[in-house]
Structure 1
Amino acid sequence: MKSDSRRQGVMDFLMEAGTASVEDLAARFGVSKMTVHRDLDELEESGFLRKVRGGASIQPSGLFESDFRYRQKQAVGEKQRLAAAAVAMIEPGQTVIIDDGSTAGGIAADLADLRPLTVISNNLAVIQDLAGVGGITLIALGGQYSKKFHGFFGLLAEETLKSLRADVAFLSSSAIHGSSAFHQDQEVVQTKRLMMAAAGRKYLLVDHGKFGRTALHFLTDLTAFDAVFTGSELGQPVRDELEATGVSLTIVDGKE
């Protein structure tokens, strides 16, 4: 197995297990402990995991939870419900912005019935899903690719967003503390803010597990969104507190 494929395999395994010992990884991938240590050193340097005594871990930390592969596997059912509900905010012929978030990115799978549409995104998963789809005019934001966030960021993406205007934007955030949204990466925050500025209507899609958490950088107050979509798993006390501050909550029921 080539080193890149093996390291991807290590990350995939850690996404499921949370932690693993060097011995287990060496046996799993049929390599020496020395090779495993080299793999873990490189992955740690890239910010994907942290080495611990005798192995590696990706929990618990907002830094490691920000990895796109980790986020894709969290609250999958709830995220699908949120994306399906949010699509009702779109009408054929509109221009839609979708950010790098795994929750907002889930909207792409539900856009076929709303064609024609123009979709603007820096989310590589969205770009790959919609590339070549009939009736979808796709504007892929350029910039520097981030493996961690599986999207494009930086000056090129930011300058492009400043020159565009959309009907609606769908965003995600990694943490909701009080009535504010936060994110751990300042460059991602800047891109999300420009997406909000470029759109007439703005919606935030966050699963219930994001509430009561915080991250390093303030993104925006939740009142900046026309609606915040979340699952019915969110406790009633939290709902009441948010609505008391003027946040427009859209609760998506999980019942069939």
Structure 2
Amino acid sequence: MTLEKAVDIFMAEQMPGDSRQARQLARRQLIVEAVVAAGSIRIEDLTERFGISLMTAHRDIDELVERGLLRKARGVVSATSTSQVESSDVYRATRQLDEKRAIAEMAAGLIEPGQSVFMDDSTTVLQMTRFLPARGPLTVITNSLPLMSELRNVRDINLLGLGGQFYNWCNAFMGQMTRREIALLRADLFFVSMSAITDSGVFHQSAETTETKRAMFESSAKRILLSDHTKFERRALHHFARLEEFDAVIVNQGTPPSQIEKMRDSGINVMIAPVKVGG
């Protein structure tokens, strides 16, 4: 079995009824996702990111190593190498690619020429770059290095890159310096995607990521959440916002109808993006 298939099977495991076991499985799924996305991570960094003890981190990792999903050596955990999957942010960027592109196209359609927009470091928001030239002139503000690279030569886009401490695992600038810069700005729109949606809330496994994106959230007149169907009923540690706080939530057409109905019953503006396979 390839690593890609093994990861897919593990990520699809149903949450057990016991809440402690459910939290454990959710945490281990997020650890796998984080390590596969980054390629390798120090175990100490995982304890900080997930708010767990070193003993708990080793216990989680040992279980994942036993399942053949990760490797552990000299205080560093890494993804199992195969020819089918790269252990880098490239892997994360290609997950649910058709869904992300469909959501990104619908999101870009909400932008009017002349507006200023915050764009976060998520791979879903990154897919919006292909649709932005047609929406110009625009001012785009971002902490994402890949997004800066994609837009650096685009005509009619005034690109403002946020500085701060660079985090290799997500290819983005975050931290206190970044938040200070954000606080000095005001934008018309904010486009954001997060790791998990559960209990009518949006969550992320990284506190630093949550704080940086919240600063953009507070500095924007309208907030748009982009989320493919895999984010629903997943769990992450840090609360970011309630779904009701967003002006719109864009999902793909594969999102369970029960989730869409639940959001609409709560008065949330849900937009469903049709997926074009291979588009």
TM-score relative to the length of structure 1: 0.77
Pick from 153, 175, 179 the counterpart of residue 174 of structure 2: 153
Matched, 1:113 2:134: yes
Work out the CA distance in 1 between the residues paired with 2:186 and 2:102.
27
Work out the CA distance in 2 between the residues paired with 1:131 and 1:190.
26
RMSD: 2.6
Post-superposition Cα deviations, 1:83-116, rounded to whole Å, max 9, x if no partner, equal 0011111011111110011111211111111221
Matches within 5 A, 1:1-256: 18=7, 43-45=40-42, 52=65, 56=71, 58=79, 68-254=89-275
1:255 is displaced (CA, Å) by 5.7
Letter in 1 for 2:162: L
Letter in 1 for 2:187: A
**SS of 2:109 mapped into structure 1:** helix
Letter in 1 for 2:176: L
**SS of 2:118 mapped into structure 1:** strand
Letter in 2 for 1:214: R
1:132 is displaced (CA, Å) by 2.6
Alpha-carbon contact 1:176-1:213 (below 8 Å) kept = yes
Alpha-carbon contact 1:15-1:70 (below 8 Å) kept = no
1:69 is displaced (CA, Å) by 3.3
1:178 is displaced (CA, Å) by 2.4
Work out the CA distance in 1 between the residues paired with 2:7 and 2:262.
33
Work out the CA distance in 2 between the residues paired with 1:150 and 1:16.
25
Distance 1:236 1:18, change over 3 A: closer
Q: Please name the residue that 2:15 is paired with.
A: none
Work out the CA distance in 2 between the residues paired with 1:139 and 1:122.
9
Work out the CA distance in 2 between the residues paired with 1:254 and 1:129.
23
Structure 2: gaps spanning 5 or more residues: 9-38, 47-60, 72-77, 81-87
1:232 is displaced (CA, Å) by 0.8
Distance 1:235 1:125, change over 3 A: same
Work out the CA distance in 2 between the residues paired with 1:183 and 1:111.
26
Runs ≥4 residues deviating over 3 A: 13-19, 67-70
Letter in 1 for 2:269: S
TM-score relative to the length of structure 2: 0.71
Letter in 2 for 1:228: V
Work out the CA distance in 2 between the residues paired with 1:135 and 1:74.
30
Query: Which of 1 and 2 has higher RCO (CA within 8 Å, sep 6+)?
Result: 2
Matched length: 215
Work out the CA distance in 2 between the residues paired with 1:209 and 1:113.
29
Post-superposition Cα deviations, 1:31-74, rounded to whole Å, max 9, x if no partner, equal xxxxxxxxxxx9241769x5725863759xxxxxxx74332121
Distance 1:151 1:44, change over 3 A: closer
Letter in 1 for 2:193: S
Letter in 2 for 1:45: R
Alpha-carbon contact 1:15-1:69 (below 8 Å) kept = no
% identity of equivalent residues = 35
1:139 is displaced (CA, Å) by 0.4
1:15 is displaced (CA, Å) by 6.0
